[in-house]
């Protein structure tokens, strides 16, 4: 009988500790927060407190098991800058001209666009635009023609967005031929503008 009384007393102690109050009485204050953190700060009966705790645990379990997708948002200016930095320097750097002409030909459009993109990718980059001529004509005539060719290429690059501060022009006339000889092809290769990067 002593054992039965002891067991009954122990059961009552466990029940009163688990519930935090006597049945039917509202729970509030510290007893409520000890029973289940996160339940609303209102008066709860033990049964509603138990239900609230169960719901909170279920919501927490669902929140931790659902995958979270993170998406990086990159400012457009950063995207543009990154794309511009990725521009390689064009390998071709000479544009060719017809005899006694300074007009930039349509066949040079792709090369001009590539150089314009490259220069736009680095505003600190500068280029020297060197006008050249073949060996025919006087020195004075070829210096003037070489300068007209260099200025024409500078204008074409400026029209494609290159800053004027990134470009300088110089005429070398017929003083620095790329090829020697008298053939039409050789002379044609010397009528050119070379783009020389200074950095």
* Rounded-to-integer distance, Cα 12 and Cα 35, Å: 18
Shared domain check, 128 and 44: no
Most confident of 19-28, 60-69, 181-190: 181-190
- pLDDT for the residue numbered 77: 57
- pLDDT for the residue numbered 50: 74
What pLDDT digit, counting tens, does each position of 69-101 carry?
656 566 565 555 555 555 788 888 999 999 999
Residue 15 in any domain: the answer is no
* Rounded-to-integer distance, Cα 108 and Cα 194, Å: 12
In the numeric block, which tokens belong to residue 55? Answer: 């719901």
Shared domain check, 135 and 50: no
Residue 167 in any domain: the answer is yes
- pLDDT for the residue numbered 182: 80
The torsion angles phi and psi of 96, rounded to 5 degrees, stand at -110, 155
Find the DSSP H helices in 66-178. 76-85, 109-121, 139-159
Q: On the CB side of 156, how many CA atoms lie within 13 Å of its CA?
A: 24
- pLDDT for the residue numbered 55: 76
Q: Is the pLDDT of residue 14 over 60?
A: no
- Among 11-15, 50-54, 70-74, the minimum mean pLDDT is found in 11-15
Shared domain check, 193 and 104: yes
Q: What rounded mean pLDDT belongs to the chain? A: 77
- Which domain range does residue 181 map to? 98-197
Bridging pattern class, strands 167-173 and 192-197 = unpaired
Residue 93 in any domain: the answer is no
Under DSSP, is residue 168 helix (H, G, I), strand (E, B) or coil?
Answer: strand
Q: What pTM did the predictor assign?
A: 0.57
Q: How many CB atoms lie within 10 A of CB 133?
A: 28
Percent of the chain with pLDDT over 90: 47
What pLDDT digit, counting tens, does each position of 155-164 carry?
999 999 999 9
Q: What is the mean pLDDT of residues 109-131?
A: 95
Q: Give the total number of structural domains in the chain.
A: 2
- pLDDT for the residue numbered 190: 94
DSSP structural state of residue 48: H
* Rounded-to-integer distance, Cα 71 and Cα 74, Å: 10
Residue 6 in any domain: the answer is no
């Amino acid at each position: 009988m002593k054992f039965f009384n002891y067991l009954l007393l122990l059961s009552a102690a466990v029940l009163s500790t688990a519930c935090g109050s006597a049945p039917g009485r509202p729970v509030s204050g510290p007893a409520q927060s000890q029973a289940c953190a996160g339940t609303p700060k209102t008066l709860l009966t033990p049964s509603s407190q138990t239900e609230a705790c169960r719901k909170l645990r279920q919501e927490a379990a669902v929140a931790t098991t659902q995958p979270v997708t993170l998406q990086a948002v990159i400012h457009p200016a950063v995207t543009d800058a990154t794309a511009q930095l990725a521009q390689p320097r064009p390998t071709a750097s000479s544009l060719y001209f017809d005899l006694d002409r300074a007009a930039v030909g349509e066949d040079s459009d792709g090369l001009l666009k590539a150089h314009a993109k490259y220069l736009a990718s680095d505003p600190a980059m500068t280029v020297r635009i060197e006008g050249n001529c073949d060996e025919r004509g006087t020195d004075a005539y070829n210096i003037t023609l070489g300068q007209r060719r260099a200025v024409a290429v500078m204008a074409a690059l400026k029209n494609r967005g290159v800053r004027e501060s990134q470009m300088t022009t110089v005429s070398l006339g017929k003083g620095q031929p790329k090829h020697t000889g008298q053939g039409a092809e050789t002379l044609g290769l010397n009528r050119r503008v070379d783009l020389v990067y200074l950095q």
